[in-house]
Every structure is written in structure tokens, then in C-alpha cells.
Structure 1
Amino acid sequence: MPDIKVKVKIVTNQSINPDADSTAEFPMRNWNIEVHPIDDKKETISSQLFEKVTFDLHPSFEKRAKQVKKEFPYRIEEEGWGEFEMLVTFTPLGKSPDISIPHDLNFAKNHYEVEKELVFKNPKADFLRALEEAGVGKKGDAKKRSRKEKTVDLEKLADLMMKLGEDDLLHVIQLIHDKKESTTYTKNSPDQGEYEVDLYTLPDGLVKELWEFVLEKAKS
């Protein structure tokens, strides 16, 4: 499956605590961070794209060093006197792999925004649907996915294909090669003995044919 790219804007606000000792070299500060997924026009996407966003702070925060937020805008609020680099981990909807990126907490400005691009490999259906509902990605592809999901369990199809014998698997690869469309994603790496295919991009008739074939082989 092609990689899916999602942009996020990490917004940081900080200010000196009004009750802090004004003569201190490093006064105590109040700070907060929010994560805003954004579209191609840099508009905020308020839809739920992530199951959670995890912030790994400096170890000196002890019990608060790991903070998990499950609702937009995934906001954390803290206080402290030191700058540090934290790790922000994004867990997308479904079973897609997590992505972690660094974020620098600094006190050079009271307000600053940083844009990051997240690249998700092999995203799952729940995440793809959420992106489509949020207006991100190709609508045609998402409609095609939704249509196939109602008639064929693609995850089960993939699982059954992995259990095929070598001859049957070669037959499946030949079927895909012969009947794929221009929008079908495949990647053949014969040197490594690997063949990749995005089942969601296969034409409906081919999906049905593959499904019937693997079910028949599973019974034998």
C-alpha cells in the first residue's frame, strides 16, 4: 500500500508564572502544547484521526513524564523552568503502526508553531476512513475501499493468501498481474523474493475472484 502522509501542527505556548521569583535566573514557567492535524490548505482538522497522542517528557517530571491524550486537540499543560526535547507519539485509528517525532520545548518565544509531516506505512481501514471523512486523501479510493469492505473481508483475504502454497500463490500473483487496473498498487522485488499488493486498489471483480479462490483452497 502506498504511504499515507498527514501533516500536523504542534502549537506551544509558554509564559513566566506570575507568582515566580522575578530575580531567579531560571524562573518557573507555565506552558502548554496542542497537536492540530492540518489539511493541504493548513486548516485545522478537528476530526478524530488518532486513538491517542503520547507525550514523553523529561524524566524529572517523574509520574507525569508520560502523558496520554485521546481527544483533539491532544493538549497537555505543565510548569517548569527548563527547556528540553520531548518525544510525541501518534497512534492512528485502527491497527496502523505508531509514529514518533521529537518536539523541542523552548522559551525563546511565548508562542510558536511547528509543522511536521507524518508518514504512515500500511495504514488500516479505520484510519483511511477517518482521513476520508476529514477530507484528506483521495475520495475515489476511499469509496472503493468502503465498497469492497462490505462484500469481502480484505484482512481475512490477506491472511488466507499468506497461507497458500507456493504454486497457488504464484497463481494469485499471475491473476493480479493479468487483471489489475492502472490504479492498482503492486511492487515486485524478485531479488528479495517479495511481492506486495494493496488489496484495496484491486478491481471489484478481481477481489471476488481471489476471495473465492482462497476460500476453496482453505477447504481443501
Structure 2
Amino acid sequence: MIVERTIKLVTEQNILEGKASGVEGFPMRKWNVKIYILDAQGNQHQADCFTKVVFNLHPSFENPQQTFTEPPFKCENEGWGEFEMHIDLFYTDKSGKISIPHDLNFQRNRYEDTHVVTFKNPSQSLQQILRETGPLPNDEDRRNRKAEGGVKKQKKPFDVEKMADAMVKLEEDDLLHVIQLIHDHKADDTYIQNNIDAGEFSVDLYTLPDNLGKMIWDYLVKHNLVDV
């Protein structure tokens, strides 16, 4: 799955009165950069999809690599010169990072820049965060599958809702057994997501073929996790 989102960088700067830079014609300034994420309507939100942000500043800074772990990831410093920095934004599911350039300049006291960034195969938890700023590519398909499954639910030889409640109670070995059953007996239209790096597996139970659903149901009954 590929998910695109627009992030916004807000830069503010002003001259520090009474504080000399030591370089003629270049007054000392105080500046900061903050990071937000935009929804489809252009509304601004906290960038909770990132767990940390690293600002790679000009090497002349005493601390040129600065890390922030709380939105809006505000990086604030003093200096007299303009430069291009690189910013590393790390996903919340630890699956990688995005790097973007940012031009720090003193043409205006406040300015904004936007960048379109891409999330590749986000984990279930990251998908939930991203849904706060817009739908995901497979959301409409999931809704259609659930709607179709709801119509057929009474015809299935197992109770989908009870199955869902019971599966979260399985011990690790039993859960791995059920996951293996799903991999071995799923149908072409069974909807699953398996994020190995994040250690997450999810399945739309309404898309299980009846024979597979019955196998899992019987396994749950055997472990006294569902009432028949």
C-alpha cells in the first residue's frame, strides 16, 4: 500500500536587537522551524505519524544534528547565516524514514513550505494515524467487503464477531497456528495484511472462505474461547 500525505514546514525568524553577530551586514537572528501534516482540505494537524525528527543543520553549529520527539518538532536556534538543511522524519512504526530539504532564509519573518511524502506499506497502527488526515487507498474496498460480508454473515457456519473477540485472547503459539491456517487455506479474495517488520498481521474475517472459517472456529471452540 502506498499512502501520500502533505507535510507543512513553518519557519519564523526575527532580528535579535542588541546582539551582534560579529559579521558586518549580517545581524544575529533567532529562528525556528515547525512541522505539521495537512488533510485533503488543507487543514493543519499535528504530525503524529512521525516518532522523531532529526534536523541536520550547517556544520558550523555547535550541535549540527538536533533531534526532537514531540510534535510539532520545533527546532529553534540563533545565527546570522542562511543555509539549506536536511530533515529526517522517522515513521512511528520504525519501518523507515523520509528525508526532505529545507531552505532556511531570512527574506520574510514567516514563511511556509510543503512537501508530499510517501508511506510504503504502513503498519495497522500507522494506518489509523494516517486516517486522521484522510482515507487510505483500500478503505473503500474494505467497506464494500464488510458490507457484502454482513449480508452473508448469517449463512456462515461460524460467528464472525465472536471469532474476532476470541482471536485476540489466543496465546502466541496458538495465534501463530491460526495465522498459518489462514495462509494455507485462504481464498484469492481473502483480505490480509502482513507487516513482518512491525510484527503485525491482520485479516478481514468476512472474507474468509467458509471451510477456513470453520477450521478456525473449531480451533477456538477446542480452546474454550467461544460459546457454541
TM-score between both structures, scaled by the size of structure 2: 0.63
SS at 1:60 equivalent: coil
**Distance in 1 between residues matched to 2:82 and 2:164, nearest whole Å:** 47
- Aligned amino acid, residue 89 of structure 2: F
Q: What is the aligned partner in structure 2 of residue 93 from structure 1? A: 92
**Distance in 2 between residues matched to 1:113 and 1:9, nearest whole Å:** 7
**Distance in 2 between residues matched to 1:60 and 1:207, nearest whole Å:** 62
Shift of the alpha carbon at 1:105?
0.7
Q: Which runs of 5+ in 2 are unaligned?
A: 147-160, 194-200, 217-228
Q: 1:175 to 1:52 in 2, by over 3 A?
A: same
How many residues are aligned here?
Answer: 183
**Distance in 1 between residues matched to 2:70 and 2:129, nearest whole Å:** 14
**Distance in 2 between residues matched to 1:83 and 1:111, nearest whole Å:** 14
Q: 1:207 to 1:46 in 2, by over 3 A?
A: farther
Structure having the higher helix fraction is 1
SS at 1:25 equivalent: coil
Q: 1:89 to 1:204 in 2, by over 3 A?
A: farther
Shift of the alpha carbon at 1:78?
0.4
Does residue 1:83 correspond to 2:85, yes or no? Answer: no
Q: 1:102 to 1:135 in 2, by over 3 A?
A: closer
Question: What whole-Å deviation, never above 9, does each CA across 1:105-139 have from its counterpart, x for those lacking one?
Answer: 1112221100111101121122112223x242246
TM-score between both structures, scaled by the size of structure 1: 0.65
Q: Which runs of 5+ in 1 are unaligned?
A: 165-170, 186-198, 213-220
**Distance in 2 between residues matched to 1:80 and 1:37, nearest whole Å:** 27
Higher gyration radius (CA): 2
Q: What is the aligned partner in structure 2 of residue 7 from structure 1? A: 6
Shift of the alpha carbon at 1:207?
8.8
- Aligned amino acid, residue 118 of structure 2: V
**Distance in 1 between residues matched to 2:117 and 2:65, nearest whole Å:** 21
Shift of the alpha carbon at 1:202?
5.6
**Distance in 2 between residues matched to 1:66 and 1:204, nearest whole Å:** 48
Shift of the alpha carbon at 1:180?
4.5
**Distance in 1 between residues matched to 2:164 and 2:11, nearest whole Å:** 40
Shift of the alpha carbon at 1:21?
4.1
Q: What is the aligned partner in structure 1 of residue 134 from structure 2? A: 136
Aligned partners of 1:94 and 1:125 also within 8 Å: no
Provide the aligned C-alpha RMSD in A: 4.0
Aligned residues with identical type, % of pairs = 34
Q: What is the aligned partner in structure 1 of residue 224 from structure 2? A: none
